[in-house]
């Protein structure tokens, strides 16, 4: 690791909260160190995979074989199934403060050396050397040169080994504490209780009520601080309850919210998709105006603009609508938005003396024809719901929290309660703690989605 020189501009920020001794440089690694970084990351992941195997009811995201929807959909199903279990569902969430900037590399290296194979001490030393050794000299012209102070904490932002090492604090604490959380979690079977999920520095505690979820979260926070010196950002804490009466807790530390953001998905306490749809619609319009109209699209044909919209706007929707229960009203809302966007590409002449309402209907019929050619968003929603349902039912995915909750108290269980006069009645399964409007259930919407998807093929 010889010294090397990087020429270019130096960018920085000035803040009253960042002292000079905490300043650190973010520099691109040279080619050889990129290869070394990838090898070190593979070795750290091998050790973490062997030691930090998630127990039943616990899920660690941001690793091979996981995706954001595994956790976001699990949270939604948790609130939905809790509402159908007399409101017995609570969620607590938080975010570790300045995670990669606060990781103690020496503690990580010590853990790797103690828990890995005999050659792990070599990889632990290589990790330390890569993350902490670089001594940065900044030269501004010929006027001044100063050295950015050496770090004892924090990892190189963007390096693969930093991402691999970031798994260790959260996963080791959750694995060790999970047996203590069994009684506070959501019992889906005799030997499985859903309790905890994490995605890098975001964690989610599942409880049978708000108090149980907070107990899990605070137990995790205390141990994370004691063992690894990592703290939780106070403003990131929040709780959500499936029952409005189930909120006996310290509201100053754990504010109760009706909707919460879970990895880009806005999830409501009653599992309604409409708050998330309204926010998604605004973001789709933002992507549309920035990418599909204006100077950058001048000269493109209608078909080319449609392809541009599918590349830039549709992913904003498809990232989220798989989690939404399929309903005709929600599918129509997506179709309507698609036609409003497509009509911007069409140049339909108004006939002489044609009424405005007739002219508008004709334009939107042309947009509907164009939508069918490039994929109707309402039909695509149905297909994505069916695909995700098939994914959750596959045996290899049964350990996923979303799959566990999807198969627990499913549509068949609700129908059996409706047919049992001792517990329910027609259209009433007798599972709610109070009367009121019930949002569409995701698992019951799958049958309707299959009808729409099959009818379009």
Domain assignment present for residue 16? The answer is no
pLDDT at 5 (0 to 100): 63
pLDDT at 297 (0 to 100): 84
Decide if pLDDT at 269 tops 80.
yes
pLDDT at 298 (0 to 100): 84
pLDDT at 248 (0 to 100): 73
The domain in which residue 449 lies consists of: 272-457
For residues 320 and 394, membership in a common domain is answered with yes
Judge whether 230 and 103 are in contact, CB under 8 Å. Answer: yes
Domain assignment present for residue 186? The answer is yes
- The Cα 162–Cα 165 span in angstroms is 5
pLDDT tens digits along 305-317: 999 999 999 999 9
Distances (CA, A) of 235 to 16, 65, 268: 19, 31, 19
Average pLDDT, the chain: 87
pLDDT at 24 (0 to 100): 56
Domain edge (last residue) among 233, 268, 303: 268
pLDDT at 434 (0 to 100): 75
pLDDT at 379 (0 to 100): 95
Domain assignment present for residue 21? The answer is no
Distances (CA, A) of 203 to 228, 233, 267, 404, 415: 16, 12, 15, 19, 34
pLDDT tens digits along 131-145: 776 666 666 666 555
Domain assignment present for residue 8? The answer is no
Backbone angle region of 411, left / alpha / beta, with phi > 0 → left and psi within -120 to 50 → alpha: alpha
For residues 256 and 349, membership in a common domain is answered with no
Domain edge (last residue) among 219, 244, 268: 268
* Burial track 2-17 (b if 16+ CB lie within 10 A, e otherwise): eeeeeeeeeeeeeeee
Domain assignment present for residue 331? The answer is yes
Give the chain's radius of gyration (CA, Å).
Answer: 26
pLDDT tens digits along 170-217: 999 999 999 999 999 999 988 899 999 999 999 999 999 999 999 999
Decide if pLDDT at 147 tops 60.
no
Burial of 60 (0-12, 13-18, 19+ CB in 10 A): buried
Burial of 201 (0-12, 13-18, 19+ CB in 10 A): buried
For residues 311 and 357, membership in a common domain is answered with yes
- pTM exceeds 0.85: yes
For residues 360 and 377, membership in a common domain is answered with yes
For residues 320 and 225, membership in a common domain is answered with no
Domain edge (last residue) among 223, 246, 268: 268
Domain assignment present for residue 212? The answer is yes
- The Cα 294–Cα 285 span in angstroms is 14
Q: State the average pLDDT over residues 50-75.
A: 93
Domain assignment present for residue 2? The answer is no
Strands 90-95 and 238-241: antiparallel
For residues 190 and 331, membership in a common domain is answered with no
pLDDT at 58 (0 to 100): 96
* Burial track 298-331 (b if 16+ CB lie within 10 A, e otherwise): eeeeeeebbebbeeebbebbebbbbbbbbbeebb
Decide if pLDDT at 74 tops 80.
yes
For residues 37 and 176, membership in a common domain is answered with yes
In this prediction, residue 321 has a pLDDT band, given cuts at 50, 70 and 90, of: very high
CA–chain centroid gap for 254, Å, is 21
Q: Work out the percent of the chain whose per-residue pLDDT is above 70.
A: 87
Question: Domain count of the chain?
Answer: 2
For residues 171 and 286, membership in a common domain is answered with no
Contacts (Cβ under 8 Å, ≥6 apart) of 45: 63, 164, 167
pLDDT at 2 (0 to 100): 54
For residues 185 and 284, membership in a common domain is answered with no
For residues 90 and 163, membership in a common domain is answered with yes
For residues 211 and 326, membership in a common domain is answered with no
Q: State the average pLDDT over residues 264-285.
A: 96
Domain assignment present for residue 232? The answer is yes
* Burial track 389-398 (b if 16+ CB lie within 10 A, e otherwise): bebbeeeebe
Judge whether 321 and 334 are in contact, CB under 8 Å. Answer: yes
Decide if pLDDT at 370 tops 60.
yes
pLDDT tens digits along 80-127: 999 998 888 999 999 999 898 889 888 999 999 998 878 888 888 888
For residues 258 and 282, membership in a common domain is answered with no
In this prediction, residue 14 has a pLDDT band, given cuts at 50, 70 and 90, of: low
Judge whether 377 and 335 are in contact, CB under 8 Å. Answer: yes
């Amino acid at each position: 690791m010889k010294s090397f020189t990087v020429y270019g501009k130096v960018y920085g920020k000035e803040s009253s909260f960042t002292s000079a001794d905490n300043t650190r440089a973010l520099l691109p690694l040279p080619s050889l160190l990129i290869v070394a970084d990838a090898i070190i990351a593979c070795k750290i992941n091998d050790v973490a995979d062997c030691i930090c195997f998630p127990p039943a009811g616990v899920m660690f995201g941001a690793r091979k074989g996981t995706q954001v929807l595994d956790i976001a959909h699990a949270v939604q199903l948790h609130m939905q199934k809790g509402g159908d279990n007399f409101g017995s569902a609570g969620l607590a969430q938080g975010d570790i403060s300045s995670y990669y900037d606060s990781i103690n590399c020496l503690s990580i290296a010590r853990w790797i050396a103690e828990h890995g194979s005999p050659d792990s001490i070599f990889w632990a030393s290589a990790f330390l050397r890569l993350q902490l050794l670089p001594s940065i000299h900044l030269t501004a012209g010929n006027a001044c040169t100063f050295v950015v102070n050496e770090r004892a904490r924090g990892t190189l932002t963007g390096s693969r080994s930093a991402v691999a090492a970031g798994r260790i604090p959260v996963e080791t604490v959750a694995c060790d504490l999970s047996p203590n959380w069994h009684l506070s979690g959501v019992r889906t079977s005799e030997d499985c209780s859903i309790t905890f999920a994490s995605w890098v520095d975001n964690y989610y505690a599942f409880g049978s009520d708000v108090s149980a979820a907070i107990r899990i979260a605070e137990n995790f926070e205390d141990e994370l601080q004691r063992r690894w010196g990592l703290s939780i950002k106070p403003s990131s804490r929040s709780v959500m309850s499936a029952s409005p009466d189930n909120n006996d807790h310290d509201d100053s530390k754990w504010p109760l919210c009706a909707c919460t953001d879970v990895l880009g998905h806005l999830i409501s306490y009653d599992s309604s998709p409409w708050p998330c749809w309204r926010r998604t619609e605004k973001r789709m319009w933002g992507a549309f105006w920035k990418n599909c109209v204006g100077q950058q699209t001048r000269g493109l044909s209608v078909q080319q603009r449609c392809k541009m919209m599918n590349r830039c706007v549709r992913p904003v929707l498809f990232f989220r609508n798989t989690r939404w229960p399929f309903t005709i009203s929600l599918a129509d809302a997506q179709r309507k938005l698609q036609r409003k966007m497509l009509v911007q590409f069409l140049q339909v002449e108004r006939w002489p003396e044609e009424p405005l309402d007739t002219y508008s209907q004709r334009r939107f019929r042309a947009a509907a024809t164009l939508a069918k050619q490039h994929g109707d968003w309402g039909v695509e929603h149905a297909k994505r719901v069916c695909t995700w349902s098939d994914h959750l039912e596959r045996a290899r995915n049964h350990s996923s929290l979303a799959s566990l909750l999807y198969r627990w108290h499913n549509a068949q269980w609700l129908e059996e309660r409706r047919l049992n006069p001792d517990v329910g009645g027609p259209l009433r399964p007798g599972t709610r703690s109070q009367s009121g409007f019930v949002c569409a259930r995701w698992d019951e919407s799958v049958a309707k989605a299959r009808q729409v998807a099959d009818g379009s093929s």
